[in-house]
Amino acid sequence: MNPFINLGIRHDIVNAISELGFENPTPIQEQSIPVLLRGSNDFVGLAQTGTGKTAAFGMPLLELLDFEENHPQALVLCPTRELCLQITNDIKNYAKHMNNVNVVAVYGGASIQDQLRQIKRGVQIVVATPGRMLDIINRKAINFSQVKFVVLDEADEMLNMGFQEDIDNILSTTPDEKKTWLFSATMPAEVRRIAKKYMDNPFELTMGTKNIAAENIEHEYYVVRARDKYAAFKRIVDNNPEIFGIVFCRTKIETQEIAESLIKDGYNADALHGDLSQQQRDKVMKRYRERSLQLLIATDVAARGIDVNDITHVINFSLPDEIESYTHRSGRTARAGKTGVSIAIINSKELGKIRQIERIIGKKFVKAEIPTGFDVCEKQLFSIVHKVHNVQVNKEQIVQYLPRIMDEFKDMSKEDFITRFASIEFNRFLDYYENAPDLNANVEEGRSRDRDERGASSGPSAFTRLFINLGSVDGFNRGDLLGYICNQSEISGRTVGKIDVKGVFSFFEVPNEDVEKVSASFAGAEFNSRPVRIEVSGEGTSDRRESSSRGGERREGGSGYKRRDSGGGYRGGDRNSGGGRSGGFRDFSGKSRDDRPERKRRVL
């Protein structure tokens, strides 16, 4: 008997999940389902992505709602459109053998009319991103007065994205006696606060820091010089001919640039980030899911919660600003009992971050060496050989051509034929990798040739902390603010130190020698018709070493915001030119530039 029956799940749901291959409950399902099925508790589940939490709350919802009634009884809020669609699909799958279950996905970037129509037809479970949900509530197009359960999924991410106020407004339209189930990967003070605010003596469950897949993930890091990063990345990809990977970048611009460079260089890659239209994003995801795309280059937010099977490699082209995000990233691979590799390409200054991540994941990274050109050629050659060996021959179709083919090769020996055949692809790599340099930055921990070469550590270059009267309420995240500052002041992103985005203001560090230039560049500047104010922060100066020693908080300079000078074959556009892919940062006064175009901009 399927053990889900013992947890109290009815047969028609168990039949559906058996078809999905769920044979045993995951730990969070085992522990939370009996509690949630009571329907009488608020609940806080501290669980990483990939732990099976969608089913942990989805199945109890299906047990507890009355599907004879056709009005909203459960509301699931989540941070991104992709996750919204995934949760909706998952719940529909669990309910495959049930009658009259109506689940609707409400998210920005898609036709609101369609969503309104679906709501009007009758729905019991609404899965939504906060911005679009609020829009629909404001149109008085939905009635939440009979909602019994609210699920806040990936609560930490929703707060990171500045959705606190939207969530407050949405929840104020639901009855006080509803039960709230909150799931979060981390429990920062803000999540604690909302747990306290919305919940009454919640049942709390912590699933540790590892996800179900973590055991099967190998973590590797490669140390390279900043300017070699792209070339090193390509070499890693070339050395894994069967790769089906997801590549994480820190910003939307970096994501787009890397994808564009890869495409130009002949790779089967595309970008997924919040500046794309919903239609473009759906198209990219469809191609990726169908595996007609080999490399998906993505931001954390766009890829949050994405569940694609059989991803072989997660590549951290840039490490995330928030160390905790590493677990979300690596959890994209090694799903459902498979194995996978999570790779970080770092510069020597980021070794400290690797050590911090090791503490979080409870696992050691392996220091790997960027393969030599010879290694890559050999790998590619044998990949071709294996492909030839394993190819499925369509006899019916090819038989008509065989006589002509045989005739063409009649004077060639078997050895000669095989050598020529294998050389078709091999020559391409041989040409490319002839005289390929060693890309490994041979560093000892704490000391770096790279650093010395670039002069980054030649003496403590002092930084000044500046205040700016723009923050998350203006739609900025760290990457956006960095772009805005660099664009306005024409300083390099590499020189900007720690960036701290608060609600209505932010702080950022610039080298002392740039303070005047940066301040002057904002004279008379306006944002949404409001004067932008820059001031030296009262908290004084810091130096670069001190900043670095704060580990994960500081933006590491070598991460390649501006990589025009990279010798590694990278041909990304000039971020500050105002041209290229994104039209510079000209649209800052208009549409939100992050991964949530449905979010409304608030003016102070």
Task: State the Cα–Cα distance between residues 505 and 277, nearest whole angstrom.
Answer: 29
Q: Which is nearer to ligand AMP, 19 or 66 (CB)?
A: 19
Task: State the Cα–Cα distance between residues 9 and 60, nearest whole angstrom.
Answer: 8
Nearest Cα residue to 384 out of 344, 430, 341: 430
Q: Is 55 in the site for ligand AMP (CB under 6 A)?
A: yes
Q: Is 349 in the site for ligand AMP (CB under 6 A)?
A: no
Q: Is 25 in the site for ligand AMP (CB under 6 A)?
A: yes
CB of 335 to ligand AMP, least distance (A): 5
Query: 457-476: which residues touch ligand AMP (CB under 6 A)?
Result: none
CB of 56 to ligand AMP, least distance (A): 7
Nearest Cα residue to 161 out of 342, 357, 305: 305
Q: Which amino acid is at 22?
A: F
Among 37, 64, 187, 336, binds ligand AMP (CB under 6 A): 336
CB of 330 to ligand AMP, least distance (A): 13
CB of 41 to ligand AMP, least distance (A): 20
Task: State the Cα–Cα distance between residues 13 and 3, nearest whole angstrom.
Answer: 12
Instruction: Judge contact between 443 and 223, C-beta under 8 A.
Output: yes
What are the residues whose beta carbons fall under 8 Å from the beta carbon of 179, sequence distance 6 or more?
39, 40, 41, 42, 43, 148, 149, 150
**CA count, 13 A, side-chain hemisphere, 123:** 24
CB of 309 to ligand AMP, least distance (A): 7
User: What are 543's two structure tokens?
Assistant: 């130096």
Q: Which is nearer to ligand AMP, 225 or 335 (CB)?
A: 335
Instruction: Judge contact between 45 and 183, C-beta under 8 A.
Output: yes
Q: Which is nearer to ligand AMP, 155 or 482 (CB)?
A: 155
Q: Is 156 in the site for ligand AMP (CB under 6 A)?
A: no
DSSP of 158-197: HHHTT-HHHHHHHHTTS-TT-EEEEEES---HHHHHHHHH
Nearest Cα residue to 299 out of 320, 313, 323: 320
| Residue span binding ligand AMP (CB under 6 A) among the ranges 52-60, 61-69, 96-104, 125-133 | 52-60
CB of 407 to ligand AMP, least distance (A): 51
What are the residues whose beta carbons fall under 8 Å from the beta carbon of 126, sequence distance 6 or more?
72, 74, 75, 76, 103, 104, 106, 119, 133, 142
CB of 29 to ligand AMP, least distance (A): 6
CB of 24 to ligand AMP, least distance (A): 6
Q: Is 49 in the site for ligand AMP (CB under 6 A)?
A: yes
| Residue span binding ligand AMP (CB under 6 A) among the ranges 46-54, 185-193, 494-502, 516-524 | 46-54
Q: Which is nearer to ligand AMP, 35 or 336 (CB)?
A: 336
User: What are 216's two structure tokens?
Assistant: 């099967």
Using H for helix, E for strand and C for coil, what is the string for 21-72?
CCCCCCHHHHHHHHHHHHCCCCEEEECCCCCCHHHHHHHHHHHHCCCCCCCC
| Residue span binding ligand AMP (CB under 6 A) among the ranges 31-39, 53-61, 112-120, 218-226 | 53-61
Instruction: Judge contact between 226 and 347, C-beta under 8 A.
Output: yes
Among 29, 80, 440, 542, binds ligand AMP (CB under 6 A): 29
CB of 282 to ligand AMP, least distance (A): 19
Q: Is 333 in the site for ligand AMP (CB under 6 A)?
A: no
Q: Which is nearer to ligand AMP, 17 or 470 (CB)?
A: 17
- CA 153 → CA 45, 138, 304, 433, 464, distances in Å? 10, 22, 12, 47, 38
| Residue span binding ligand AMP (CB under 6 A) among the ranges 25-33, 188-196, 275-283, 362-370 | 25-33
Q: Which alpha helices (DSSP H) does 291-401 contain, by range? A: 300-303, 325-330, 351-361, 373-390, 395-398
User: What are 7's two structure tokens?
Assistant: 């947890």
CB of 17 to ligand AMP, least distance (A): 7
- Count residues binding ligand AMP (CB under 6 A): 16
Among 16, 31, 44, 54, binds ligand AMP (CB under 6 A): 54
- CA 517 → CA 100, 287, 532, 539, distances in Å? 64, 46, 15, 20
Q: Is 22 in the site for ligand AMP (CB under 6 A)?
A: yes
Q: Is 52 in the site for ligand AMP (CB under 6 A)?
A: yes
Q: Which residues face 340 on adjacent strands?
A: 217
Q: What share of the chain is helix, strand, coil (3-state, %, to 5)?
A: 45, 15, 40
Q: Which is nearer to ligand AMP, 28 or 441 (CB)?
A: 28
Q: Is 183 in the site for ligand AMP (CB under 6 A)?
A: no
CB of 50 to ligand AMP, least distance (A): 5
Q: Is 599 in the site for ligand AMP (CB under 6 A)?
A: no
Among 53, 304, 465, 478, binds ligand AMP (CB under 6 A): 53
CB neighbourhood size of 14 (10 A): 20
Q: Which is nearer to ligand AMP, 45 or 493 (CB)?
A: 45
| Residue span binding ligand AMP (CB under 6 A) among the ranges 20-28, 179-187, 407-415, 480-488 | 20-28
| Residue span binding ligand AMP (CB under 6 A) among the ranges 50-58, 178-186, 414-422, 567-575 | 50-58
User: x/- string (CB under 6 A) for ligand AMP, residues 249-288?
Assistant: ----------------------------------------
Among 307, 321, 480, 514, binds ligand AMP (CB under 6 A): 307
Q: Is 32 in the site for ligand AMP (CB under 6 A)?
A: no
Among 51, 102, 129, 464, binds ligand AMP (CB under 6 A): 51
CB of 21 to ligand AMP, least distance (A): 6
Q: Which residues face 179 on adjacent strands?
A: 149
CB of 58 to ligand AMP, least distance (A): 8
Q: Which is nearer to ligand AMP, 210 or 335 (CB)?
A: 335
| Residue span binding ligand AMP (CB under 6 A) among the ranges 19-27, 35-43, 99-107, 125-133 | 19-27
| Residue whose structure tokens are 């040739």 | 449
Q: Which is nearer to ligand AMP, 157 or 254 (CB)?
A: 157
Task: State the Cα–Cα distance between residues 185 and 78, nearest whole angstrom.
Answer: 13
User: What are 56's two structure tokens?
Assistant: 């942990």
**CA count, 13 A, side-chain hemisphere, 279:** 1
Backbone angles phi, psi at 13, to 5 degrees: -75, -45
Binding site for ligand AMP (CB under 6 A): 21-22, 24-26, 29, 49-55, 307, 335-336
